[in-house]
Homo-oligomer: A and B are copies of this chain.
Amino acid sequence: MTETIVMKFGGSSVADPDKVRLVAGRFVDAKRRGFDVVGTVSAMGKTTDTLLALASDVSPSPNPRELDMLLSTGERIACALVAMAIHDLGEEAVSFTGSQAGILTDSVHTRAKIREIRGDRIRAALEQGKIALVAGFQGFSRDTMDVTTLGRGGTDATAVALAAALGGACEIYSDVPGVFTADPRIVPGARKLDVVSYDEMLEMAASGAKVLMLRSVELARSHGVRIHARSTFSEEEGTWVQEPEGMEQPIVSAVTHSETDVVFTLTGIPDRPGVAAMIFDTVASAQVNVDTIIQNVVHGRAEMSFSVPAEDVPATRSALDASQAELGSFDVGENHGLGKVSLVGAGMRSHPGVAATMFRTLAELGINLEMISTSPIKISCMIARDRIPEAVRGLHAAFRLEREPEREPTI
């Protein structure tokens, strides 16, 4: 039986006709290596931004159903063009909209979640020896029969869901060759990782690694889909994201960072039980990814701080306004001067010494820690944003990440 492979290319990989032909060539190569090939691509270059700008030129608050009708065209255009280029290379291809491909979602416009993939037309195309291309980032709701879009990271989610539904690995192509021990633009000695576990990748994505979106990694983990993150522009192997093999896992796999977080500090919060929880409920239901949270009492008044990614700042502000309307007034401060540096490694679970080494390294560089948050396999520190590159280089060196990994000893 032929093995199925799902290949996903982002918007920058199909940004112009030359790149469209190059991507078509990658699909054709995979087909000729003997795979059943399913492809999904994002909208070309800045198409989605252009469509969003058009919508906001027309309407101050575009109707969400119509916004989905609008935005879903970008990926359809890209898929149709790639299909044309594949034909010119001598293979057959057929492009499908999300609804033609049977990508069923809930009916939450602009950020729908995939419920199920009925891949009948995809399977039929594969059986006919065709390359099946599926417009990313979109599906349709069986309840309303309307087109939906999947929101941020939607095309990666499409790719992983297709791999889960059809059985097969999922290759996610981008302009970087894989997952690195740190951002190579900051750390010249950063090393490409051959394999990372789902848990590590989740922490890395949450703490600033841009290669894969949190959402697609979660989807991959819950369906056991292996992801191969690799470069559009090279044949080189990338990084596999999968269940860890064997007992040994690296103590520290990578240093990640993020320079765009914004820290909100709330002071004078009404001192009643459950108030903090209610505020976070409101923020969470606005789909904000709250990261580090600190709550303490200063001079007898409750104070609470949390960081959110820059793109979630407007949603956070509205959610806090709504909370104040409900709970009474409190002060909201925003700090745009901080960044986050994180260490991620599955072996950390059994090596509590990592935090101490991290803090000592940053202290030796004279960097103050503003906030700290931890998970079993991650430690994050909020520090002054302009010290981020130094901190990343210092930590990469301190944990010797330029070398092959230290591993947790076998039991």
Complex contact B59–A145 (CB within 8 A): no
Expressed in whole angstroms, the Cα–Cα distance for A83 and B63 within the complex equals: 8
Given contact pairs A17-B58, A21-B58, A81-B54, A145 touches B100 in the complex (Cβ within 8 A): yes
Residue of B nearest to A16 (CB): B57
Q: Contact check, A80 vs B67: say whether CB atoms are below 8 A apart.
A: yes
Interface mask (A143-184 → B, CB under 8 Å = 1, otherwise 0): 001010000000000000000000000000000000000000
| Residue A55 lies at the interface, judged by CB distance under 8 Å to chain B | yes
Q: How far is the CB of A138 from chain B (nearest CB, A)?
A: 12
Interface residues of A in 49-66 (CB under 8 A from B): 51, 54-55, 57-63, 65-66
- Cβ-based interface call for A95 (8 A): yes
Measured in the bound complex, the distance between the Cα atoms of B70 and A20 in whole Å is: 14
In the complex the two chains form, what is the Cα distance from A88 to B56 in whole Å? Answer: 12
Q: Oligomeric state, in number of copies?
A: 2
B76:A62 contact, CB within 8 angstroms: no
- Asked if A289 CB lies within 8 Å of chain B CBs, one says no
Do residues B84 and A80 form an inter-chain contact, with CB atoms below 8 A? no
- Given known A100-B145, A145-B100, A145-B121, contact A55–B69 (CB-CB < 8 A): no
Whether A70 contacts B77 by the Cβ 8 Å rule is: yes
Structural contact, A63 and B81, CB atoms closer than 8 A: no
Q: Are A69 and B58 in contact (CB under 8 A)?
A: no
In Å, the complex CA distance between A88 and B67 comes to 13
Bound complex: CA A399 to CA B63 (Å): 54
Min CB–CB distance A68 → chain B (angstroms): 8
Interface residues on A, range: 35 or more
A88 and B87 alpha carbons, distance in the complex (Å): 43
Question: B87–A54 contact, CB under 8 A?
Answer: no
Query: Which residues of B lie under 8 Å from residue A145 when comparing CB positions?
Result: 100, 121
Within 8 A of B (CB), among A305-354: none
Would you call the interface of chain A mostly helix, strand, loop, or mixed?
Answer: helix
Task: Give the residues in chain B near A201, CB-CB below 8 Å.
Answer: none
B73 and A85 form a contact (CB under 8 A): no
- Select A66's contact among B67, B83, B100, beta carbons within 8 Å: B83
What mask results when residues 100 to 127 of chain A are scored 1 for a CB within 8 Å of chain B, else 0?
Answer: 1000000000000000000001000000
Contact across chains for B85 and A80 when beta carbons are under 8 A apart: no
The docked-state distance in angstroms from the alpha carbon of A59 to that of B60 is 38
A84 and B100 contacting across the interface, CB-CB below 8 Å? no
Check if A79 is an interface residue, CB within 8 A of chain B.
Answer: yes
In the assembled complex, the CB of A110 is this many whole angstroms from the nearest CB of chain B, namely: 13
Nearest-Cβ distance from residue A113 to partner chain B, whole angstroms: 22
Contact A69 B79 (CB under 8 A): yes
Nearest B residue to A17, CB-CB: B57
Known: A95-B69, A100-B145, A145-B121. A58 touches B76 (CB 8 A): no
Q: Are A66 and B84 in contact (CB under 8 A)?
A: yes
A residues at B contact (CB < 8 Å): 17, 20-21, 51, 54-55, 57-63, 65-67, 69-70, 73, 76-77, 79-81, 83-85, 87-88, 93-95, 97, 100, 121, 145, 147
21 A-B pairs within 8 Å (CB atoms) are namely A17-B58, A54-B81, A55-B84, A59-B81, A63-B83, A63-B93, A65-B94, A66-B83, A66-B84, A66-B95, A67-B80, A67-B84, A69-B76, A69-B79, A69-B80, A69-B95, A69-B97, A70-B81, A70-B84, A73-B77, A97-B147
- Told that A20-B58, A55-B84 touch, could you supply 13 new A-B pairs with CB distance under 8 A? A17-B58, A54-B77, A54-B81, A58-B85, A59-B85, A62-B84, A63-B83, A63-B84, A63-B87, A66-B80, A69-B95, A70-B81, A70-B84
